[in-house]
Amino acid sequence: MYGWRGKRIRFDLTKGKWEVEETPYEYRRKWLGGRGYNSEVLYNEVGPDVDPFSPNNLAMLGVGPLSGTFGPSTGRVTVTAKSPLTGGFGDSNMGGHWGAELKFAGYEQIILKGKAPKPSYIWIDDDKIEIRDASHIWGKFPRDADRIIKEELGDKDIHIVTIGPAGENLVRFACTFNDCYRAAGRTGHGAVIGSKNIKAIAVRGTGGVKIADPEKFYQITSDWRKTMRTDPMAQGLYAYGSLVLIMPCNYEMGWFPWKNLKYGYHPDARNISGEVWAKKHLKGKEGCFSCAIVCGIHSEIRDGKYAGEYTGGPEYEACVPTGPRVGIIDSNECLHGAVLTNNYGMDAIEAGASISWAMECWEKGYLTAKDTGGLELNWGDAEVVDKLLRMMAYREGFGDILAEGPTIAAKKLGVGEDCLVSTRGMSLPGDDPRGLGFGYGLSFAVGTRGGCDHLRSLCCLELSGYLYPGLNEKIVGTEACSKPLVTDGKAKMVWWEEHHKAFVDCLQVCCFNTHWSYGCRNEHLIPMLNAVTGLDFTEEECLTIGERIYNLERAYWSRQLSGKNDDVVPRRFTHEPMPENPAASSGKVLPIDEMLPDYYKLRQYEPETGFPGDKRLRELGLAYVAEELKPYREKYIAREKQKKAKKKDKE
């Protein structure tokens, strides 16, 4: 066996037991690793009636065949569970070193089921596995829990996944961290892990990864690393991290997420740009395992009332949610918000979206001081943002409502649906498709975990594809699709990116190598995979694996009776033209209806339901899924007919 270690650990936390399972060759070839393993287990073992906080929900962490090798940025980990935020399929992805360490210990996947009788943490030391008491670290911030566990185990070099107070308090968008600051942010699996009374998973591995053809593998990876040294996107990411996006998103393209994405521009956006950040806040840089880009930054506040605060990052999507999205453009305040979301263990995107939704509701008069416990939710009020972040993390007062996420909060309060910027119950990131690109808008509508972001379908062929002449022509068949605000080729662009990203997530290679930048393409990845495993994967097979995974995740939503009528984006993007700004996107709306039919044809989805087509499921080796969806299809059709009848009666 090369590449894979061929084992996973399945925990029954209620019984305090575990078993090590072997993954046979046929399974590895079909699902590959990481996201593939996790999605397969979730679909087959967590049904549509399982409550996300039930002990019967599973939380999984998976890595792949390239994890722990010299391959491109192979430290990624996929974390998967039924989402408490959306009620549907949920996963997220994080960097760091924990994934490689799990591989060194001999495993590709951890599966958590049940609920520990008391706060606990898991200790994996190669083949020695323990469930330990965590009462002394329950309530601690992730970085403090990380330090205490390392001191307790007597090894500062082990790697640890942790949750924060938000996960312990079942905030529906709580996340997980490894190496203190590397977050798997989206869909709320941190709360699922918290519901199981698990605070952390510490790992130490002393094994290695056997490579079938070491010389060939070394040559391929060496060539790839040379390519990355001159890659234009990689250079920008190294210089400024993902904050490199601030200047072009505001001054060139007009998709800056000002005030709940109502606007696409602010004249002072450069105040939080990567260029300014590097001079004002940069404390140091750090790459994930086997990284050739080193986009990770550490930041500190050097003056003002928060002087001395520091954190890992922030990434673009941790800076803007509690910054411009809530009307704040001061870098100290943006960084302070990122410190708090990291400390509390919350998805920064959803936390900022909850507050910005509430602020827009306040602005429109939907919420009053009576609803908020006396808080006045005015745009740009940094003190209120500070208070609300804590109140959400500990479910205090009005924060208890916002801890449900804005979609559930809007339903509970009966107001503000027109202020939501979400799909399938999850808020969208700080990326406005009226300026960023129509391909992104399409991916927001159809993504398999709700409100998609830069770690999912990642429609970067329209963001950075133009930097690689001939790439769009090769993949999509036209260079026209590289223009953001056109519909030409966008359906195929999204379709291809979804398959490719699922495949890359099985390998656990960082998307900054394969999608933001396209320095690592299939001509690197697939020979690399074959050199590691000694097998004969083709590009067609790898993309088919990605398509199989994507269809299985879509089928998970189908069982929840979520289909065609949920393939939508916020009304803001389709009916509110981008306000006037100096960028060329002014006056644009997202023509989602022009792209969906072509996308459905490529996907072979049923036009009436949006469910994966029976024929394609069978071709992908998912005949059992095709059979299982039949009664759900009938329920969906009957429900939609009933809705139309009720609407007609009202009219």
Co-location of 465 and 397 in the same domain = no
What is the spatial distance between Cα 76 and Cα 185, in angstroms, rounded to a whole number? 13
| 132 and 271 share one domain | no
Instruction: Quote the pLDDT of residue 594.
Output: 97
Q: What is the pLDDT of residue 440?
A: 94
pLDDT tens-place string over residues 161-192 = 999 999 999 999 999 999 999 999 999 999 99
Rounded CA-CA distance 223/469 in Å is: 20
CB 111 within 8 Å of CB 61? no
End of a domain among 204, 220, 239?
A: 204
3-state secondary structure of 639: helix
In a domain, 217, yes or no: no
Within a domain: residue 601? yes
Same domain, 513 and 585: yes
Determine the pLDDT at residue 583: 84
Does some domain include residue 309? yes
Task: Indicate whether 162 and 269 sit together in one domain.
Answer: no
CATH number at residue 633: 1.10.599.10
Tokens of 547: 């398509």
Mean pLDDT over residues 375-389, rounded? 98
Mean pLDDT of all residues in 305-315: 96
Predicted local confidence at residue 647, as pLDDT: 81
Task: Please give the residue range of the domain that contains residue 376.
Answer: 257-427
End position of a domain, from candidates 181, 204, 227: 204
pLDDT confidence of 203, banded at 50, 70, 90?
very high
Do 442 and 419 share a domain, yes or no? no
Residue pair 315/345 in contact (Cβ under 8 Å)? The answer is no
Residue where the block lists tokens 């894979």: 4
Q: Is 369 exposed, middle or buried (0-12, 13-18, 19+ CB in 10 A)?
A: exposed
Name the strand (E) or helix (H) holding 350: helix 348-363
At 279-289, the pLDDT tens digits run: 999 999 999 99
Task: Output the pLDDT for position 456.
Answer: 77
In a domain, 364, yes or no: yes
- Among residues 451, 479, 485, 453, which one has the least CA distance to residue 466? 479
**Mean pLDDT (the chain, rounded):** 96
Looking at the structure, do residues 192 and 55 belong to the same domain, yes or no? yes
Q: 450: which strand partners?
A: 448
pLDDT band (50, 70, 90) for residue 466: confident
> Residue 586 — very low, low, confident or very high, per pLDDT cuts 50/70/90?
confident
Residue 455 scores a pLDDT above 80: no
Model pLDDT for residues 224-249, shown as the tens digit of each residue: 888 888 999 999 999 999 999 999 99
Residues in the chain: 651
Taking a C-beta distance cutoff of 8 angstroms, is the pair 43, 552 a contact? yes
Count of CB atoms situated within 10 Å of the CB of 640: 16
Same domain, 586 and 639: yes
Count helices and strands (H / E) in the chain.
Answer: 27, 17
- Neighbouring CB atoms inside 10 A of 635's CB total 12
85 and 115 share a domain? yes
As a whole number, mean pLDDT of residues 126-138 equals 98
Strand partners, 180: none
Rounded Cα gap, residues 601 and 487, in angstroms: 15
pLDDT of residue 458: 73
Both 506 and 622 in a single domain? yes
Q: What is the mean pLDDT of residues 61-65?
A: 98
Residue 220 lies in a domain: no
Specify the CATH number for the domain of residue 165.
3.60.9.10
Question: Phi then psi for 191, rounded to 5 degrees?
Answer: -70, -35
**Residue 45: enclosing H or E segment and its boundaries?**
helix 34-45
Q: Is the pTM of this model over 0.75?
A: yes
**How large is the average pLDDT for residues 332-338?**
97
- 531 found inside a domain: no
Residue 418 and residue 488 in one domain: no
Looking at the structure, tell me whether residues 407 and 445 fall in a common domain: no
Q: Which pLDDT score, from 0 to 100, does residue 57 have?
A: 98
Query: How confident is the model over 304-314, as a mean pLDDT?
Result: 96
Residues 103, 172: one domain? yes
Does residue 166 lie within any of the structural domains?
Answer: yes
How far is residue 534's CA from residue 561's CA, in Å, rounded to a whole number? Answer: 42
For the chain, what is the domain count?
3
Kindly report the backbone phi and psi dihedral angles of residue 12, in degrees, each rounded to the nearest multiple of 5, phi listed first.
Answer: -110, 95
Domain boundary among 186, 204, 222: 204
In a domain, 184, yes or no: yes
- 295, with CB counted inside 10 A (0-12, 13-18, 19+), is buried
Q: What is the CATH number of the domain that holds 379?
A: 1.10.569.10
At 463 the pLDDT is: 86
Torsion of CA 206, 211, 212, 215, to 10 degrees: -130
Q: What is the DSSP string of 566-602?
A: G----HHHHHSPPPP-SSTTTT----HHHHHHHHHHH
